[in-house]
Amino acid sequence: MEQSKAMVDRCVSLGLDPNRIPKHVAIIMDGNGRWAKDRGESRVFGHMHGVDSVRSAIEGAMELGVRYLTLYAFSTENWNRPKEEVDALMNLLVDTLLREVKELSDKGVRLRTIGDVASLPSSCQEQLALAEKSTENETNLDLILALSYSSKWEMVEAIRKMIASGIRSEEINPEVISENLSTHGIPDPELMIRTSGEHRISNFLLWQMAYTEFHFTSVLWPDFRKENFYEAMHDFQHRERRFGGLADTNHNVQIQ
Ligand code: FPP
């Protein structure tokens, strides 16, 4: 979708260049456990409050005209957490989907997933399939949940798919590899935000983030609000994106 007049006006009112809003923003939502611990609560309490921040990130993205938002909701490595926490996260996902899918659809949000969704509990898989089906024609924002996802898992899957297709080694190139990843058809993120002061990419979109700008904030995920999203956008717009080439003296880099 093109940016609407309201989106352009909102960008301008925030001092942002409406022509340099990234099409795709990816977020590593981190710090739920520490946020809860600071309050003497269980980690699950932090995850529950993290849902409000998911809402804020979606709203912030939609206000400015971001077209794809990918959230790292559950990594392959997260399966190693205590069973109670994993179960609570899965229930939270199902409950949130049940509660919010109608509103997502009304707002024009298409829900998609990347990751080893088949490894999730069947109740999760069912809710996800329903939510994906009922929002499949929405075009304002693609909300992509990375679930049981890791880049290394995704790359192994891609290689298996390519081998199974009988591809010859000389036919393999970066485009073919991209087509075999779960993000096939989705533009690479131009901006990645990680909360909680950690400076890692933790097995997230490694192939897709070859030229992504990173914004790290010390804000813990349950405290993340639209203002933090705008701040990341300001940071992004002050970067000079060179893609390994020469600086563009007009600072008018075409966003890929
Ligand atoms: C990382 O914080 C967060 C997660 C592993 C889960 C993210 C899940 C949510 C925000 C809630 C549900 C999401 C949706 C899409 C409905 P952490 O537990 O690693 O925090 P810590 O580093 O402080 O321990």
Average pLDDT, the chain: 95
Q: Which pLDDT does position 86 carry in this prediction?
A: 98
pLDDT range class, residue 48, cuts 50, 70, 90: very high
Q: 250 or 184: which carries more pLDDT confidence?
A: 184
Tell me whether strands 24-28 and 68-75 are parallel, antiparallel or unpaired: parallel
Q: How many CA atoms lie within 13 A of 71 on its CB side?
A: 20
Instruction: Characterise 57 by phi-psi region: left (phi > 0), alpha (psi -120 to 50), beta (else).
Output: alpha
Among residues 9, 17, 30, 95, which one is catalytic?
A: 30
Asked about 228 being catalytic, the answer comes back as no
Give dist(CA 168, CA 159) in Å, integer: 12
pLDDT range class, residue 189, cuts 50, 70, 90: very high
How would you write 97-133 as a 3-class SS string?
HHHHHHHHHHHCEEEEEECCHHHCCHHHHHHHHHHHH
Block residue for tokens 């979606």: 58
Show Cβ contacts of residue 7 under 8 Å, excluding neighbours closer than 6 positions: 18, 21, 63, 64, 65
Q: Which pLDDT does position 244 carry in this prediction?
A: 81
Asked about 30 being catalytic, the answer comes back as yes
Domains by residue range for the chain, with CATH: 5-148+188-235 (3.40.1180.10)
Stated pTM of the model: 0.94
Q: Is 222 in the pocket of ligand 1 (CB under 6 A)?
A: no
User: Which residue lies with its CA nearest to atom 6 of ligand 1?
Assistant: 73
Among residues 9, 17, 32, 78, which one is catalytic?
A: 78
Ligand 1 atom having least distance to the Cα of 75: 5
- The yes-or-no verdict on residue 88 having pLDDT over 70 is yes
The answer to whether residues 150 and 114 touch, using CB atoms and an 8 Å cutoff, is: no
Structure tokens, 66: 């971001």
